[in-house]
Amino acid sequence: MQEQIARNKRRTFLMLLGFVVLITLVATAIVLLFGGGWVGIVIAFVIAMGLAWGSYYNSDKIAIKASRAVPADETEYRRYHNLVEGLCIAAGLPKPKLFVVNDPAPNAFATGRNPKHSAVAVTTGLLEKMNRVELEGVLAHELSHVKNYDILVTTVAVTAIGTIALISDIGLRFAFWGGLSGRRDNNGDSGPIGVVIAIASLAVLMLAPFAGYLMQMAMSRNREYLADASGVQLTRYPPGLISALEKLKDDKAVVHNATKATAQMWIEEPLETNPDKPGSKFNNLFDTHPPLEDRIKRLQEM
């Protein structure tokens, strides 16, 4: 397991680098689409680096705000605080900031850039529906994400994917509402090379959000298995997390403030996954989490 944790840390660096490259490609595509030269490309790279740096320091705040989480009062949520404090002592972690999301769907997530700057949020539905050992299993899973440094890449991904989708959408809207004609008029670049550049730039803008989602999906599934295994090692009681995952599997409620960008943070897929709903089978191919049945089976085999 330690080898897998070390491998995940290396993949975290590569994934963060991948998001920087993807943002740079999108920004460069917009510059080229509207006739910018090398200076514009350099500016696009600087902007991409600035966005990546900002994501590193502020994405946890963005994730908390996007989920509409509020600080968990120590008196009102005493059990929540006590369980986290005990698990942090066992794991050798500093206590993260604790938040609560007012939502009936049982779910939870961890966010931050490292164990010293981390936060855990749970929904009111989770607190109401889980008994003590089940809640402990869920919290151990989330703290394992903190200890394994999964929170860095998943939290930055929230901002990165949102940024990629936003600037791609802006670029495409300008392109289809007169941007390309303006480029040709201003630069006289309507020859074969200009057409190739325009088509390539449009392709980047259209495919970049899809590529971001694929990167998000690839990085999340294996990390969930590892966090499950690390969590039960921390509690030394696999039935607790198994029972919690079974309750999550039986509950079909969705988290109201979850989005595709934030989905990978939660302990289970927070969006619609009903196989009987039209289109759901295709959408589920891009779920950021492995099926709960598979996760439960792996824990039962431990």
Percent above pLDDT 70 for the chain: 78
Average per-residue pLDDT for the chain:
81
Give tens-digit pLDDT for 118-168. Answer: 999 999 999 999 999 999 999 999 999 998 888 877 777 777 777 777 778
User: Where would I find the H helices in the chain?
Assistant: 2-33, 38-66, 78-91, 124-129, 132-147, 150-174, 180-187, 192-235, 238-250, 280-284, 292-300
Report d(CA 91, CA 13) in Å as an integer: 24
Catalytic residue numbers? Answer: 142
Judged against a pLDDT cut of 90, whether residue 231 lies above it is answered with yes
Domain that residue 48 falls in = 1-302
Least confident of 196-205, 237-246, 275-284, 287-296: 275-284
Using left for φ > 0, alpha for ψ between -120 and 50, and beta otherwise, residue 194 falls in alpha
Report d(CA 295, CA 244) in Å as an integer: 11
Rounded average pLDDT over 65-79? 94
**More confidently predicted of 259 and 292:** 292
Give tens-digit pLDDT for 197-207. Answer: 777 878 888 88
What pLDDT shows up at residue 129? Answer: 96
CB–CB of 155/60 below 8 Å? yes
Give tens-digit pLDDT for 214-230. Answer: 776 666 667 888 899 99
Burial class (CB in 10 A: 0-12, 13-18, 19+), 150: buried
Sign, CA torsion 157/159/162/165: negative
Rounded average pLDDT over 238-265? 87
Report the domain count for the chain.
Answer: 1
